[in-house]
Each structure stands twice: as C-alpha cells, then as structure tokens.
Amino acid sequence: MAMNRRRFLKHGLGAFGAAGLCGAFGNLRILAAAAGQQRFPIGDYKALVCIFLHGGNDSFNSIVPYSTSQYADYRSSRQVLIANGGVAFDQATIEANALSPLAAGGGLPGGLPSDGGSYGTHPALAELRGLFNSGRAAVIANVGTLLHPTTQAQYQAGTIALPPQLFSHSDQSIYWQTSRPDDANANGWGGRIADRLHTFNTGPLPMCVTLSGNNLFQRGDMVSSYAISPEGVEKMSYLGEGPESWVIPPNEDGVAAYQALLAANTQEHAFERAFADVTRNTVANYEIVDAALSAAPPLTTTFPDSSLGGQLRMAARLIQVRAALGMSRQVFFVSAGAYDTHNNQVDDQQWNLSQLSQALKAFYDATVELSVAQSVTAFTASDFGRSLGVNVDGTDHGWGGHHFVVGGAVRGKRFYGTMPSLRDNANPDDTGYGQIIPTTAVDQYAATLAAWLGVSNSEIADIFPSLANFNSADLGFLA
C-alpha cells in the first residue's frame, strides 16, 4: 500500500521526537496565526502535565459522599461494604478523609459541591486530599466525552448525537485524548495546542514531551512528541552509544554504513532524506537534553519509587532545565495503568490511587522547589468513569467521572461542575444501565487548560469545534 511522505513523517517518525518536521506540509494557516507576534513575555513559562489513568478510574470510590442523603444513595448503589467483601466504604471512613471546600466568593466560579453534600476521598489519596485542602487542587465534577449537553431522556430516545462506541476502552481513550468524538482521525488536543504555540519556544525540541511512549494526545499537524525515558536520555545503541554498548561492541563497518546513510544531502529518495533528517535531529536533540540534564543540580524533592513517580520526576527535571532548552510552553504526558477494576477493585484501587497521590504530591513539591508552582498545572484524565453498580468485587465501564487539577495557579479547595446523583433507581443522571451521563464535556475541561496556557479564544474555537454547543468555554478553575 502506498504511503505519502506527510503520513510517513507524521505517524511513522513521531517517536524520533523531532519538532516541526511536518511544517512544510501542515496547516499553513496555523503557522501564519502564530508568526509575527511575541505572545509571551521573555521569561514567561507555563506547562501542562496530563496524567492519563488507563482503564477507567472509579471516581465514585475516589471522591465519596459522607453526608447522610448522598451517602445513602452511594451505599444503595454500591450495595455491600468493603468489610463484607464489597466495594463501598463506610460513612465514618469517608468522613475521616474529608475534603474541606471553600464556598464560592468574589464572583469566582466553583465552591461547595453542587448537590450540597459533604465529600471525602479514598483513604489512599491522603496526599492529594492535603493538596485540595491547602488550596492547591480542585475537583472537576462529572467530566466525559460529549458532543452536546445530554439528558437521560435524549439518551434513551436516541434523539441526540452521542460519541460513538461509548463504554469502549480504546474508543473512549481516543476521544478523551482528541476531544473529537466526531472525528476518529483527529489529532490530539495537546498536539493541536502545540501546533498553535510551539513557535514561541526558541530551542530545537518539540513542545510536547512524553514520558510514557507514543500517545494520541500529543499528535499534531506540525509537532511530534519528544519521547524520553524516566531514567533519562536513551541514546542510539547502533552507534555504540546505547546502554548495552559496553556488552556488545559496535560493528565498525555497520556504524560507518549507518553514518553514511545519515549524511546530509546524499539521499535520492524522499523517505531516505526524511529518515536521515529525523535521525540527525534526534541525535542532536538527545545531546542537547543530556547536556542540560547533566549540568543541572539534583532535585532535593523525594519522589516515590514507582513508574508514575519516575515519570513525574523526569518531567520535573526537564522543567528545571527549561531555560537551557529554550522552552516557553510545554505539554507533558505521563500515564499509569491497571484502572480497569472489573475484579479486585479494593486492592487494585488502593495501590493505584496511593501511587497517584504520592507521585502528584512529590511533583507539586518539586515545582515549589523550582519556583514554578504557579506556572505548572497537572490534571488527570481517564478512559471513562465506572458504573454505579458492582459486579461481585469490582465495577464496570461507565461514562462521566470526577477529575483532579493540581498546581499553584489552580483556584483550589473548590468543586467545579455538577455532582451527579448516585441513586441506584429513578436516577435522572443515569443512562438507565448504571453509567452516569457527563454534565461537563472534555472540551470544556480541555479548553480551560488551553486558555490558561495562552491559546487565544479564536484558536480555542478552532481546536474544540464542539465547544460552541456548551454554555461555558472556561470553567474558571485556573487563575
């Protein structure tokens, strides 16, 4: 099957981490919009950090009511208490882990939970609960993939357009990362943001950095994500520079042939030239990153010895060397798995949420150490929420769910959006099958983050075309 050069560059070579390689073939309107203006003052820096929880986090056991009426609904849906082999927490446990939100004030959005209830967190979220109660984190309620605001009646009657393949892991993770459930081939919204802002960085590296391999979230028309290991720069072993080169000496003839392949202006075929260009840029980029990281003093903040802890530690180190890398705006992607809690939810969620909480707290502390807490915002995302009902010792695929946003710019200690009913019958927020219908769209969540990063209103409308269907483009949780 034939493959054109643009598709080869965009999809086949993205892992090499070169910036701007598709610029000549991409959307010139985006370049024109970005060119000719200095949007950000010298020294101004902001970064978004997406923490994707693969599998669909059960947010209704992450943020749990303990006020009498709301707890009764939660208890009736979750049926059996954990002490008796179920998934529901007892009321006292949640109250002992209480969130203490502020009432709305000064005309700002957000505040107490919209249903008037009192909420606490899963016991494993101690550090994240502390960030919320100290005003450094907020809860964004009942977020999910939507094309339009959707009611139970509309859902059940099929009278409104819905995201395709609801409750499917692969499809819903795609739509969360693209915010375009109407377009299965869309780029990620992180990549679309970077297409608009990457020209304001002065260094050679891409605006998007992944600590968790390839992802759709950071794919753009003119940018590719730069992949780096949580342990640091991974050099090219074929050139005798990789971690195993001390075990397997390089083949000198092979190295010479490979270097000849990469020589500038010697290739006849477009694919060969593209490969050589990308690989040369990759080598140059990892030399720049390696030098910057090697010159930086070690962080004093202690991170947990976990996969997520390692990813966020490297994100913090790259933020530390932002000036050396010429970065004004950055978008990071990190992830954790095993959130698909059909079975063994109690043990799995205890482990998963403790890793999330500890790593997020360490990352926030590192931003304080680096004096960039006001400039870095981390946020959670996931395939979907979980069902209200349980299937033996876990929960099923859901739709809407709650999320955390963390950082010094967060208008914290507040709930944003509408808290859903957790009743197990006659629930107007339920599809009728135990999945909660979202009341906040991914587009609204993402657009709020994009606006804070510096994307203009007109660009936001272009990035998130479905946003026009909702009554608010900015949820107000960032200052």
Residue 51 within any structural domain of the chain = yes
Q: Residue 363 in contact with residue 405, Cβ under 8 Å?
A: no
Helices 307-320 and 345-369, axial angle in degrees (round to 10): 20
Residue 478 within any structural domain of the chain = no
Residue 10 within any structural domain of the chain = yes
User: What integer pLDDT is reported at residue 7 of this predicted model?
Assistant: 34
User: What integer pLDDT is reported at residue 238 of this predicted model?
Assistant: 59
User: What integer pLDDT is reported at residue 243 of this predicted model?
Assistant: 53
Residue 196 within any structural domain of the chain = yes
Q: Which residues contact 2 (CB under 8 A, 6 or more apart)?
A: none
User: What integer pLDDT is reported at residue 306 of this predicted model?
Assistant: 98
Q: Domain range holding 181?
A: 5-34+46-469
Report d(CA 48, CA 334) in Å as an integer: 11
Residue 63 within any structural domain of the chain = yes
pTM: 0.89
Of 105, 149, 145, 103, which Cα lies nearest the Cα of 415? 103
Residue 181 within any structural domain of the chain = yes
User: What integer pLDDT is reported at residue 213 of this predicted model?
Assistant: 94
> How many domains would you assign to the chain?
1
User: What integer pLDDT is reported at residue 282 of this predicted model?
Assistant: 77
The pLDDT tens digits along the chain (479 residues) read: 333 333 333 333 333 343 333 333 334 434 444 444 557 777 799 999 999 999 999 999 999 999 999 999 999 999 889 988 889 999 999 999 999 999 998 899 999 999 999 999 999 999 999 999 999 999 999 999 999 999 999 999 999 999 999 999 999 999 999 999 888 899 999 999 999 999 999 998 999 999 999 999 999 999 989 999 999 987 766 555 555 554 456 667 777 877 787 888 888 888 888 888 878 877 888 889 999 999 999 999 999 999 999 999 999 999 999 999 999 999 999 999 999 998 889 999 999 999 999 999 999 999 999 999 999 999 999 999 999 998 878 999 999 999 999 999 999 999 999 999 999 999 999 999 999 999 999 999 999 999 999 999 999 999 999 999 999 999 999 99
Q: Which residues contact 160 (CB under 8 A, 6 or more apart)?
A: 147, 148, 150, 154
Report d(CA 368, CA 371) in Å as an integer: 5
User: What integer pLDDT is reported at residue 441 of this predicted model?
Assistant: 98
Residue 40 within any structural domain of the chain = no
C-alpha triplet 384, 386, 392: angle, nearest 5°: 150
Residue 41 within any structural domain of the chain = no
